Amino acid sequence: MPKRTAAPANFNIDRDIPVGKAILLVDNLGVTQERDGTLAVVCVRGRIDSATSVQFEAELDIVFADPPDALIIDLTDLNYMSSAGLRVLLVVAKRARAEERPLILCNLAPGIREVFDISGFSTIFEIAATRAEAEARVRG
Amino acid sequence: MTQAYKLVLRNRLEEIPRIAETVERFCLRHELAPRIAMHLTLALDELATNAISHGFAPDIAHADAIRLSLTLDDDAVQAVIEDRGRPFDPLSVPPTDTGLGLEARAVGGLGVHLVREVMDEVRYERTNGLNRVYLRKRCDNEK
């Protein structure tokens, strides 16, 4: 068997954590929400898959039970999302659009961004690079 | 070809994170890039999720509903996932139109699309009462 190099030649530290050190994808889901006036910010960490998407959807239902004027979903610490998570985000986006509540996602890790790109979600969703940029946009 | 990493799953969605665990151990062992691990995990997760969600009567638990194996040959990871559920060819799912706008996009149905996109090869066969999907992911061209 050929010996493999530890990292591809064009290794990108922002995208690939060092080979041999990674436990990337196994974390459970954690969701927190904060309110700043009528803006709601939901922070998601860990993984959204078919085992955790029900919990993710329930947390977002709680947010909409006391509807904010605008919603930011911060995905900084989300390291894995399957189509089960995309499904929940699509439901939320349709609801936000129908109720005319701006929805902005921010801080997508490159792996998450790739899933968005493949799914065509990068053009469906408003996506900000940072939380500050997202807040500026909803307040602007 | 390397010794296979194997995993057996019950037909329960809470088993799904175990796929990531096995894929990561496999990829660490073979010094494959995290992006390869992500794509393999995603494809196997989507196929296993479909099998668990639609392939079995939910009130009957099967200890060995789904079997996975992972091996590495010269330039690619070969993954096989087989389940004992109802016959289902994932390649029969029509392509997703990813160009539609928010209102027009249907909810759901993206799983097989993701599998096709992140794998280099996907083949299905039904034999001996098993659905079997062969996946191939090249790892010599990771960019």
Q: Token pair for residue A94? A: 């349709």
Query: Phi/psi class of residue B108: alpha, beta or left (left: φ > 0; alpha: ψ in -120 to 50)?
Result: left
Average pLDDT over residues A105-133: 97
Domain-embedded: residue A49: yes
Domain, as residue range, for A111: 33-139
Q: Give DSSP secondary structure letters for A23-79.
A: --S-PPPEEEEEEETTEEEEEEEEEESTTTHHHHHHHHHHHHHS--SEEEEEEEEEE
pLDDT band at A53 (very low <50, low <70, confident <90, very high): very high
- Residue B53 — very low, low, confident or very high, per pLDDT cuts 50/70/90? very high
Residue B3 is predicted with a pLDDT of 86
CA angle A21, B38, B99 (to 5 degrees): 150
> What's the domain count of chain A?
1
Interchain proximity A118–B114, CB inside 8 Å: yes
| ipTM of this complex prediction, to 2 decimal places | 0.94
The CATH number of the domain holding residue B87 is 3.30.565.10
Say if residue A4's pLDDT is above 90: no
* pLDDT for position B109: 83
**B76-128: pLDDT as tens digits:** 999 999 999 999 999 999 999 999 999 999 998 899 999 999 999 999 999 99
The gap between the terminal CA atoms of chain B, to the nearest Å, is: 23
Tell me whether residue A26 is in a domain. Answer: no
List, for residues B70-88, the tens digit of each pLDDT value: 999 989 999 999 999 999 9
Residue A14 has pLDDT above 80, yes or no: no
Residue A13 domain-assigned (yes or no): no
Is residue A20 included in any domain, yes or no?
no
CB atoms within 10 A of CB B53: 15
Residue A22, domain member (yes or no):
no
Neighbour tally for B41: CB within 10 Å: 27
What residues 2-61 of chain B have any CB closer than 8 A to a CB of chain A?
2, 13-17, 20-21, 23-24, 27-28, 30-35, 37-38, 41-42, 45-46, 49, 52-53
> Which CATH number fits the domain that encloses residue A37?
3.30.750.24
**Which of B36, B45, B96, B112 to mutate: most A Cβ within 10 Å?**
B45
pTM for the full predicted model: 0.90
Q: Is A101 among the domain residues?
A: yes
Domains identified in chain B, total number: 1
Residue B143 lies in a domain: no
For A90: left if phi > 0, alpha if psi spans -120 to 50, otherwise beta; the answer is alpha
Average confidence (pLDDT) over A36-64? 95
Output the six-digit token pair for A67: 């509807």
Quick one: three-class SS letters along chain B? CCCCEEEEECCCHHHCHHHHHHHHHHHHHCCCCHHHHHHHHHHHHHHHHHHHHHCCCCCCCCCCCEEEEEEECCCEEEEEEEECCCCCCHHHCCCCCCCCCCCCCCCCCCHHHHHHHHCCEEEEEEECCEEEEEEEEECCCCC
Is A37 a domain residue? yes
Range of the domain at B103: 5-138
Is residue B110 assigned to a domain?
Answer: yes
> Considering the domain boundaries, does residue A134 fall inside one?
yes
Q: Flag whether B22 is in a domain.
A: yes
pLDDT tens digits, one per residue of A76-115: 999 999 999 999 999 999 999 999 999 999 999 999 999 9
Return the pLDDT at A25.
67
Count CB-CB contacts under 10 A for residue A87: 20
> Which is more confidently placed, A11 or B49?
B49
Of A4, A82, A124, the CB nearest to B42: A82
Through-space distance between the first and last CA atoms of chain A, rounded to whole angstroms: 57
Q: How confident is the model at residue B142 (pLDDT cuts 50, 70, 90)?
A: low
